[in-house]
């Protein structure tokens, strides 16, 4: 509870205390009934201006003047706190929204996650762990405690072009659509591909046969959670050690071992050299599991004589700090 809200609650308590004190005062001084005393107290502190219920004695008039000063002051103090809560809340919403919009406008080469359900939360957690820039598009109003305060969220329907533009679709690097239905994901893929033809799109498919439609609509990758989940369960039973290793190597936050993909830039120092010459395995202790060539061909288990070319993607397995060194080598000329 904020300071202003605490003051508002406290002022309400003061009003109750003033009403109780005024009621008891009139009952003792003027010997009025409880109803008459409460009525006189309320009309006095609210400055309604009705006449007295009964003629007041001199002591009663002094008490009434004191009640007016204290009661009216308490009422004004309460109204002031209530107004501050309303105004400050609106200002916070306005400025908070503008701040988020400004951050989104400044983003470039970021990712857009459409849908913040159970799968969307996992995706956002992984992107955040990798320190990737991303924006979430969510139509439903989530409870405040279920949302990460650091998330950049665009409220709206991701199937609409104006909402995608608000999330910076023209400047985005990739889009992940994990909306509840395949139809919604299909609309998102179609709209996103028109707005940004170079966008890398990954979409979720729930029903059998939807994968082909999403690919035809423009999705670069289609993931079926039920298919992957079923395979994972079967492999966990049949090949538990293999599954444990893959999970260990790809888990976020693992400080011992990570599997990463590293892009070799044009003119990088390691471009044109063999795996042995650049010392990836000998000096860094990194295992190159595969190399994805510029034409899309995947070369598994390359030998130490394999030449690294510009534009290749190295699928590397090793310690995080050593992988960072390899990333620098793949960028430096």
* Per-residue tens of pLDDT for the chain, all 333 residues: 456 667 777 888 888 888 898 899 889 998 888 988 888 888 888 877 677 778 888 888 888 888 888 888 888 888 877 777 666 665 555 566 777 788 888 999 999 999 998 899 999 998 988 889 999 999 876 544 455 667 888 989 999 999 999 999 999 999 999 999 999 999 999 999 999 999 999 999 988 788 889 999 999 999 988 888 888 889 889 888 888 877 776 766 655 677 888 899 888 888 888 888 888 888 888 889 899 998 888 888 888 889 999 989 999 988 888 888 888 888 887
Q: Is 233 part of a structural domain of the chain?
A: no
Same domain, 81 and 173: no
- Indicate if 131 and 66 belong to the same structural domain: no
Which tokens is 93 given? 């919403």
Q: Which of 167, 144, 142, 141 is nearest to 154 (CA)?
A: 167
Domain contains 249:
no
Domain of 175, in residue numbers: 107-228
Is 122 inside a domain boundary? yes
What's the total number of domains in the chain?
3
For residue 108, what are the contacts with CB-CB under 8 A and spacing of at least 6?
168, 171
Distance between first and last Cα of the chain: 55
Exposure letters 208-241 (e unless 16+ CB within 10 A, then b):
eebbebbbebbbeebbbeeeeeeeeeeeeeeeee
Structure token pair of residue 190: 């179609």
- What is the value of pTM for the model shown? 0.61
What is the per-residue DSSP string for 242-287? HHHHHHHHH-TT-SS-EEEEEE--TT-TTTTSBTTTTTTTTTT--E
Candidates 70, 65, 71, 133; CA nearest to 105 is: 133
* Distance separating alpha carbons of residues 126 and 135, to the nearest angstrom: 13
CA–CA dist 129, 179 (Å, integer): 22
């Amino acid at each position: 509870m904020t300071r202003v809200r605490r003051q508002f609650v406290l002022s309400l308590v003061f009003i109750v205390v003033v009403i109780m004190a005024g009621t008891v005062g009139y009952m003792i001084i003027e010997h009025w009934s409880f109803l008459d005393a409460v009525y006189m107290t309320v009309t006095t502190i609210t400055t309604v201006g009705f006449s007295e219920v009964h003629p007041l004695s001199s002591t009663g008039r002094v008490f009434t003047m004191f009640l007016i000063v204290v009661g009216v002051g308490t009422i004004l103090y309460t109204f002031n706190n209530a107004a501050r809560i309303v105004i400050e809340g609106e200002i916070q919403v306005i400025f908070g929204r503008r701040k988020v919009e400004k951050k989104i406008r400044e983003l470039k080469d970021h990712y857009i996650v459409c849908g913040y359900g159970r799968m969307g939360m996992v995706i956002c957690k992984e992107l955040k762990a990798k320190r990737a820039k991303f924006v979430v598009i969510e139509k439903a109003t989530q409870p405040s405690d279920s949302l990460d305060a650091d998330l950049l969220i665009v409220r709206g329907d991701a199937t609409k072009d104006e909402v995608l533009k608000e999330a910076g679709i023209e400047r985005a690097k990739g889009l992940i659509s994990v909306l509840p239905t395949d139809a919604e994901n299909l609309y998102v893929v179609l709209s996103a591909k028109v707005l940004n033809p170079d966008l890398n799109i990954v979409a979720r498919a729930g029903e059998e046969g939807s994968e082909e439609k999403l690919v035809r609509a423009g999705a670069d990758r289609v993931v079926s959670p039920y298919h992957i989940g079923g395979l994972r369960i079967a492999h966990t039973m049949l090949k538990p050690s293999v599954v444990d290793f893959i999970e260990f190597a790809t888990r976020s936050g693992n400080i011992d071992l990570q599997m990463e993909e590293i892009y070799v830039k044009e003119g990088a120092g390691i471009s044109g050299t063999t795996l042995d010459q650049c010392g990836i395995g000998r000096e860094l202790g990194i295992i190159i599991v595969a190399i994805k060539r510029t034409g899309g061909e995947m070369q598994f288990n390359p030998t130490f004589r394999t030449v690294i070319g510009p534009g290749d993607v190295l699928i590397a397995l090793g310690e995080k700090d050593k992988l960072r060194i390899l990333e620098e080598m793949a960028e430096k000329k």
